[in-house]
A and B are shown apart, each in its own frame.
Chain A
Amino acid sequence: MFKAMLKKEFVLVLRDKHSLAALFIMPSIFILIMSIALKDTFSDDRAFIRYNVTDNDQSNISRSLSAILDHTTNLQQYDHAITDSKELQAALNKGLHFALTIPKGFSEKFIVNTSKNLLRLDVASEVKMDMLNLFKGELSNVLMQIRIEQMLQQFEPVVPGITAQINSQAIDTSDLVNIHFNGLPPNKIPTSTQQSVPSWIVFGMFFIIIPMSTIFINERKQNTLMRMSAMNISIPILFAGKIIPYMLINQIQVWLMIGVGIFIVPFFGADALTLGNSLTGLLLVSTGLSLAAIGTSMVIAVSVNSVEQATTIGGILNILFGAIGGVMVPKFLMPQSMQMLSNISPMSWGLDGFLDIFLRGLSVQEVLTEAFALAGFGIIQLLIAGLLFSRKKRNGI
């Protein structure tokens, strides 16, 4: 009996191009795009802050400032010359983050220690405060370095050899701190792939709401459910005949997307996905997520009356769960109140579980809470769907 139900459900999904696109192609493409788009954000190899310096002072100090900035790892000089304010505005709209203008007379003011409005900084409107603070920090370091060199030059005639002595005691700040990311081996840094794959797996899994609810509604409309009832198929058997195939479809999705992360993403220059330390944890969280997604699908499928309603409500619910649950905007970027709110989304629990495994390398014990919460949520939804459906059935399917 289940074999027939399983086969039927697979054939119906496989013959529905829209379902296939939503279940398999869309999340795979998301993973690819997001991993590639964000790869530099997680890399220390390439500077991601683009800046430009307009030196109207043309002094030794201003030239020194430009030169030191040029050697700073996090910064990348804008590759187009900017000669007037119009070009500057255009550049700030087209990818330039910061435009530093060194005004004429800067070096005189710097020497006499005038610290107010020494430089002008134009900032692109999309620049976030953390990026601005980072640039200001780099700029302060450079100015501090120039000031120290300048002071050493002043002291050199009084204390000969002081410059050499100070330079010999200088420390290399690049290796000063041994950075260790939680859950990762030493010298390993988190990658965009490790961050993106969990999000889009969670999001993709919930997309079964659409094929599952539309197939169920069509079965209601085409009276096949009524016929099945007359063939001794009870509600628990009918639901089991839905749950099992869609859990398998969800597992295929999970492993397909993991496959994309491991094998396809590296072809496009981003880092390959690594599986973490707990395959059991991964299976538990994905099974819990599956139940949550299937439960939600069934509640929608038995509550609404048309395929159009199911696709609209299913789509909206998916996006809302994703937005609240930290799929689209990472939770750590959200204000405290939003982070609290995100806990109402089952996608948030699933994402936490997957991040624990993929990103933090935690064990199965650490994801049991998320897995059971998701499974509980799914089972409650399925019970609600069962009650609603049996009531509808009594009144004629």
Chain B
Amino acid sequence: MIRINNLSKYYGTTAALNAINICIGKGVIFGLLGPNGAGKTTLISILNGLTTFQEGEILVCDLPLRKNLREIRKRCTFIPQFLALYDNLSVIENLHFFAGIQNISGTVLQNNLDYAITTNSLEKLLKQKAVTLSGGQKRRLNIAIGLLNNPDILYFDEPTIGIDPESRNDILSTIRSLKKDNKTVVYTSHYMDEIEKICDEAAIINHGEIIAQGSLDALLQTANDNSAIIELHYSDQTSLHLLTDCIDTLQVIDGSTLKLKQQNSTNMSALLKILETKQIAVKQIRYQSMDLESLFITLTASENSHV
């Protein structure tokens, strides 16, 4: 549905995006992760034709973006990070206005309005002015406006910022429900648990480059290093560093914490024996399975250390 080949975008001589390659299939919910300034919003803006790019090629619905922007826009929608709606118009007036400027009318308008309203549970709020809605309700209206053209592709730019957990869950289930309608979703967020909850695939972007990409399961599997955290009744980091000479996969986190990567019964019993010999008491052993957040932090931290 979306194919990005070697996309680069420069602000002067600084690369905001550098040789990005992404492929997103139809009906996939795709998460785009990255720290602030990584290039997520730039990429979303480019995909919506709001920002130009210098190199590479983007195909949306098999059409080159540059030449078919108007046509592509009719099949896509952009739900921006900030609430892009009119506070002084009611919910239904906002919906009618944004449908009107897209020349949606007649039966199509009625069907699309019904779809946008029911998908976002706005039935009881139609006559209320947007300014009087809660943060979560405004977010739902923001999404409903995006559904008015019944798009094939939806770009969500951090749509759950600043709302309560209940509203957040409602929005996430709304987005998840779009999958059953075979919609393609590109979703950026700072919240890793959201990506884990709703996305099928994800890419991690940092300093304008994709540093990991694939299905969530594959990403987590590759990243999972089967490590164990050993907490000690001890506080001498220098002495602990001597232990790393004995076991290669051992890492000193701080004066009282060790991390044993790729742990197994052999290296774990070797470590425990050494600790017993040195009369260092073990407080707790935790076996870690890596979640998306850990993966994100590990990857972006190692990237940052190379910069």
Interface residues of A (CB under 8 A from B): 1, 3-5, 7-8, 11-12, 15-16, 222-224, 226-233, 241, 396
State A344–B102 Cα separation when bound (angstroms). 41
State whether B85 touches A4 (Cβ < 8 A). no
Chain B contacts of A7 at CB under 8 A? 97, 100
State whether B50 touches A4 (Cβ < 8 A). no
State whether B82 touches A1 (Cβ < 8 A). no
Known: A8-B97, A11-B93, A230-B73. 11 other contacts (CB 8 A): A1-B103, A4-B99, A5-B101, A8-B86, A12-B88, A12-B89, A16-B88, A223-B82, A226-B80, A230-B77, A231-B149
User: Can you list 7 A-B contacts (CB < 8 A)?
Assistant: A4-B99, A5-B100, A223-B82, A226-B84, A227-B98, A230-B73, A230-B78
Chain B contacts of A11 at CB under 8 A? 88-89, 93
CB-CB contacts below 8 Å: B73-126 with A = 73-74, 77-78, 80, 82-89, 93, 96-103
Chain B contacts of A8 at CB under 8 A? 86, 89, 93, 97
Chain A contacts of B98 at CB under 8 A? 227, 231
Chain A contacts of B93 at CB under 8 A? 8, 11
State A222–B149 Cα separation when bound (angstroms). 21
State whether A230 touches B49 (Cβ < 8 A). yes
State whether A232 touches B73 (Cβ < 8 A). yes
State A15–B93 Cα separation when bound (angstroms). 13
Of the listed residues A12, A231, A396, the one surrounded by the most CB atoms of chain B closer than 10 A to its CB is A231
Chain A contacts of B145 at CB under 8 A? 227
Closest B residue to A237 using CB positions: B101
Chain B contacts of A223 at CB under 8 A? 80, 82-84
State A25–B132 Cα separation when bound (angstroms). 28
Q: A1-B103, A15-B88, A222-B86 known; A229 and B97 CB under 8 Å? A: no
State whether B80 touches A4 (Cβ < 8 A). no
**Does B70 count as interface, using CB distance less than 8 angstroms?**
yes
Q: A3-B100, A227-B78, A227-B80 known; A232 and B89 CB under 8 Å? A: no
State A163–B50 Cα separation when bound (angstroms). 97
Chain A-chain B contacts (Cβ-Cβ < 8 Å), number: 68
State whether A1 touches B100 (Cβ < 8 A). yes
Chain B nearest Cβ from A291, distance in angstroms: 23
**Does B167 count as interface, using CB distance less than 8 angstroms?**
no
Chain B contacts of A224 at CB under 8 A? 84-86
Chain A contacts of B87 at CB under 8 A? 222
Chain A nearest Cβ from B41, distance in angstroms: 9
Chain B contacts of A12 at CB under 8 A? 86, 88-89
Of the listed residues B48, B84, B89, B98, the one surrounded by the most CB atoms of chain A closer than 10 A to its CB is B84
State A227–B87 Cα separation when bound (angstroms). 15
Q: How many residues of B contact A (CB 8 A)?
A: 29
Q: A227-B78, A227-B145 known; A4 and B100 CB under 8 Å? A: yes
Chain A contacts of B89 at CB under 8 A? 8, 11-12
In the complex, which of the residues B70, B83, B96 contacts A222, with contact meaning CB atoms closer than 8 Å? B83
Chain A contacts of B97 at CB under 8 A? 4-5, 7-8
State whether A222 touches B82 (Cβ < 8 A). yes
Closest B residue to A228 using CB positions: B101
Chain B contacts of A229 at CB under 8 A? 50
CB-CB contacts below 8 Å: B187-243 with A = none
Chain A nearest Cβ from B36, distance in angstroms: 16
State whether B50 touches A226 (Cβ < 8 A). yes
State A7–B82 Cα separation when bound (angstroms). 24
Chain B contacts of A230 at CB under 8 A? 48-50, 73, 77-78
State A11–B86 Cα separation when bound (angstroms). 11
State whether A231 touches B84 (Cβ < 8 A). no
Chain A contacts of B101 at CB under 8 A? 1, 4-5, 228, 231, 233, 241
State A3–B102 Cα separation when bound (angstroms). 11
State A222–B94 Cα separation when bound (angstroms). 13
Closest B residue to A12 using CB positions: B88
State A1–B96 Cα separation when bound (angstroms). 11
Chain A contacts of B96 at CB under 8 A? 4
Chain B contacts of A228 at CB under 8 A? 101
State A4–B101 Cα separation when bound (angstroms). 6
State A158–B101 Cα separation when bound (angstroms). 99
Closest A residue to B149 using CB positions: A231
Chain A contacts of B80 at CB under 8 A? 223, 226-227
Chain B contacts of A226 at CB under 8 A? 50, 80, 84
State whether B83 touches A231 (Cβ < 8 A). no
Of the listed residues B50, B77, B78, B89, the one surrounded by the most CB atoms of chain A closer than 10 A to its CB is B50
State A8–B83 Cα separation when bound (angstroms). 17
Chain B nearest Cβ from A78, distance in angstroms: 56
Closest B residue to A234 using CB positions: B70
Of the listed residues A5, A8, A15, A233, the one surrounded by the most CB atoms of chain B closer than 10 A to its CB is A8
Chain A contacts of B77 at CB under 8 A? 230
Chain B contacts of A396 at CB under 8 A? 51
State A233–B103 Cα separation when bound (angstroms). 11
Closest A residue to B74 using CB positions: A232
State A12–B85 Cα separation when bound (angstroms). 13
Chain B nearest Cβ from A242, distance in angstroms: 13
State A231–B78 Cα separation when bound (angstroms). 9
State A351–B302 Cα separation when bound (angstroms). 70
Q: A4-B97, A11-B93, A222-B82 known; A232 and B102 CB under 8 Å? A: yes
CB-CB contacts below 8 Å: B35-94 with A = 48-51, 70, 73-74, 77-78, 80, 82-89, 93
